[in-house]
Structure formats: structure tokens, C-alpha cells
Amino acid sequence: MSFIIKREDIPHFSRHVISKGYTLFAPVKGEFKHSFKKIAENQVEDVSLDFVRTTMPPLKSLLIPPRETLLKIRNGKVEETLPDATSRTAILGVHPCDVNAMSLLERVYMDRPKDPYFEARRKSLLVIALNCKTADEYCFCTSFGTGPSLEEGFDLLLTDLGDRFLLETGSRKGAELISDFYMPRATSTDILEKDDTIRRVKGMIRRHVNTAGLQRIMIGALYNPIWNELAGMCTGCGACNMVCPTCFCFNMTDEPELDSGGTVRIRTWDGCLLWEYAEVALGGNFRRDLSARIRQFVNHKMNYWLNQYGSLGCVGCGRCIEQCPAGIDITRVVARLRGETP
């Protein structure tokens, strides 16, 4: 079902979501960029849906927090700190590439063995997605069919039509949320306007990855000199890993709690570009060279994912390109490996 919500009613709609018992996260305009924040009832006017991408991936940050306590050990007893799956969390304004990245993370974390922490958070999450109304020079979602619009994976879906938003339902949970929020039904003109918007945004996307036969090309390029060339540019900062919505690696450490005499087990994000990532006992490291680490990053997205999870592991969000201090661009790397002019 499709409805129309006036632009000025977004704060009212946000308040409605909170009134239904949801903890709401939504984009807020910052000094330089938008970022997703928890929205209290008196902050609904701050919700701003005019952005291309946030620096940090909103769904990964919510479902796998950058640092979380997995369990506590006190007096010899293990206490799991599982999130409450019956709580309600809603996230408003997530773009299609990030929703599709969440679907990829589900394959990783909800396959065998299931990660109970991810699962509990995913079960309690309601996704109000937002089709893109513009794109910038970093976007290349059309290469993977992961944007700029969505067909599935959302509970509710907004499309910006200027003075109003088209709101579509994608699940029973989404339909229930709006069942007592009055909105007029959308007309065929509204739907046509949505189609025009999506067509226009597709036309704005200039960056592409040619995925035809890509796995074969990547396998053939394992010893290509490009990896050494990139290692000469890369700083090993790991920013690409951290901002990537599909990078899912983590580290676990046991930390003593001096006041209680117990121990806490902490999970933190990790990344294959970081030197410590492949470090093992006694100072060994399987990927000492940056060339091996950057080759791993690109191959995992554009090659290994296919065997592991049945699809490529990139959604074309452009974050790794925008944030790389060395100007390394995964689309240009692939183009060069294909022998194409980037």
C-alpha cells in the first residue's frame, strides 16, 4: 500500500514512531555531514532526510556496535549480555545500498552458526528506508543492483517527491506502525513521479564496476603488480574497512575488571587492512605486506564473497573511495585489472 506524507509532517511521523515504543535513530545534519543519531521526542525537528551518504554505515553500526560486551565473568560465573530481542528499535532514512548491505550481513551473522547478538538486534529492528533522490561522484550502486531504489528488505519505504514523500509498506510490522497514522493514499501520478525520480538518479551515477566475468579476472590477477603499486600509496589506516557497510570482521579480547575482580569479553570491529589483523602468537603475521592486505580487501569484495555467500560483497556505497586518504578507488582498481581505461 502506498501513502503520501507531507514533508512538514516528517517530525510528526517521527514522534508517532517513538510513541509506539520504538527507540528511533535517524539522520541529523552535522557541521560537515549528516550522521545517524538517537532521536528523543523533543529532537524530531532535527531529523533531516537531505543527504547522499553518512560517513559511518548506519545499519552495521546499529547491528554490530563498534565495541560491545559479549559476556561478563564474575565469581566463576559466566553472564551473557545478550540484547533484548523484544525491545523495539526503528531506523529512519536508510538508503538502499545500506539496506542491501544489511542483507549481506544477515547472510554472515544469521547463517550457521547464528550470532545471537546480531540476531536479537535484527529481530527488534524496524527499517524505514529512503530511496535516493540524488547521487554524487562516489556512488556506483547501479553496478550491483543495490540502489538507488529498493524492492525489498524494508518495513516502510520513503521516496522524496519534493513537497511530499511517497510512503510504501513492505511488511506487516511496517503496516501496523502506520495503521493509526492518518495519510492520504498515493495516486498513480505519485507513483509515476517516483519512477521519474529513480530514473533521474540512475542517470546521475557516473562510476561503474563491470561485474561480467569478474571472479575469473580477479583470480587471474592474484600476482598482478598493481597490488605492490597500491601498497606504495596505502597508509594501512583501515578507514576503508571501518566505513564499509559489508566489512564484518571483528576481534575479541578478555579484559580484567579491576574493581569487581571479574573479566569482560569485548568484541570490537577489525579490518583486513590493519597490520594486527593477521598477527598471531610469537610475532607471526600472515599478511605483513600491505600489498597482501589490500589484495585481500579488494578480492574479498569482488571475488571470495561469491563462493562464500553467493554474491559480490560490495554494494557500491562509495564510502571507501570518499574516505581513503591515499585516493585509492576500488572501481579504478577493478577497471585496471580488467584492462579497461578507468
Site residues (CB under 6 A) for ligand SF4?
234-240, 243-246, 273, 294, 301, 314-320, 323-326, 328, 330
Helices (H) then strands (E): counts for the chain: 13, 11
Of 222 and 233, nearer to ligand SF4 (C-beta) is: 233
Of 95 and 122, nearer to ligand SF4 (C-beta) is: 95
Task: Give me the residue label for grid cell 533531516.
Answer: 48
- Residue 102 CB, nearest distance to ligand SF4 (Å)? 12
Of 121 and 319, nearer to ligand SF4 (C-beta) is: 319
Of 138 and 154, nearer to ligand SF4 (C-beta) is: 138
Beta bridge partners of 25: 38, 91
- Residue 238 CB, nearest distance to ligand SF4 (Å)? 5
Of 169 and 303, nearer to ligand SF4 (C-beta) is: 303
Of 90 and 218, nearer to ligand SF4 (C-beta) is: 218
Contact of 53 with 318, CB cutoff 8 Å: yes
- Residue 33 CB, nearest distance to ligand SF4 (Å)? 15
- Residue 237 CB, nearest distance to ligand SF4 (Å)? 4
- Residue 243 CB, nearest distance to ligand SF4 (Å)? 6
- Residue 331 CB, nearest distance to ligand SF4 (Å)? 8
CB neighbours of 125 closer than 8 A, spacing ≥ 6? Answer: 62, 63, 89, 90, 91
Of 174 and 245, nearer to ligand SF4 (C-beta) is: 245
Q: Give the DSSP H or E segment for 332.
A: helix 330-337
- Residue 209 CB, nearest distance to ligand SF4 (Å)? 9
Strands (E), 246-315: 250-257, 262-269
Give SS3 for 132.
Answer: coil
- Residue 337 CB, nearest distance to ligand SF4 (Å)? 15
Percentages (nearest 5) of helix, strand, coil residues in the chain: 40, 20, 40
Of 246 and 303, nearer to ligand SF4 (C-beta) is: 246
For CA atoms 59, 308, 341, 328, the dihedral sign is positive
Q: How far apart are CA 322 and CA 342, in angstroms?
A: 17
Contact of 260 with 74, CB cutoff 8 Å: yes
How far CA 182 is from CA of 3, 12, 32, 39, 185, in Å, comes to 9, 11, 35, 22, 10
